[in-house]
């Protein structure tokens, strides 16, 4: 069970089915869920943003950035999105100890 808990700490959004398959566990998903809860790992919704976004320093930096954006000449500005991020594929739930965020 220690290896399973280590894996969850590394990848908190791993599913029960993935854990059972990876470690070849001879138990059902519901039994694994109960055992994880006994070890203090709960299933909770992930926060997709950091709490640091609300600090005064970050809020001030964002305000300054927005003001400088208003001064840009849009006709000569080019935007390239190279992040290739797709939030639609992000898992929204994960497991963590009851006093920790996912």
Q: Which tens digits make up the pLDDT trace of 42-61?
A: 988 887 777 778 888 988 99
DSSP string, 26-69: SS-HHHHHHHHHHTTEEEEEPPSS-GGGGSHHHHHHHHHHHHHH
Angle between helices 2-10 and 16-23 (to 10 degrees): 130
Radius of gyration of the chain from its Cα atoms, rounded to whole angstroms: 21
- Mean pLDDT, residues 5-30 taken together: 94
Residue 86 in this model has a pLDDT that exceeds 90: no
The model carries a pTM of 0.60
């Amino acid at each position: 069970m220690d290896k399973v808990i280590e894996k969850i700490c590394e990848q908190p959004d791993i599913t029960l089915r993935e854990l059972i398959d990876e470690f070849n566990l001879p138990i059902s998903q519901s039994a694994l869920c109960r055992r994880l809860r006994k070890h203090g790992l709960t299933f909770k919704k992930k926060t997709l943003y950091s709490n640091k976004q609300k600090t005064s320093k970050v809020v001030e930096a964002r305000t300054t950035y927005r003001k400088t954006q208003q001064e840009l000449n849009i006709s000569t500005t080019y935007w390239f999105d190279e992040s290739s991020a797709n939030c639609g594929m992000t898992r929204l739930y994960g497991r963590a100890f009851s006093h920790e965020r996912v």
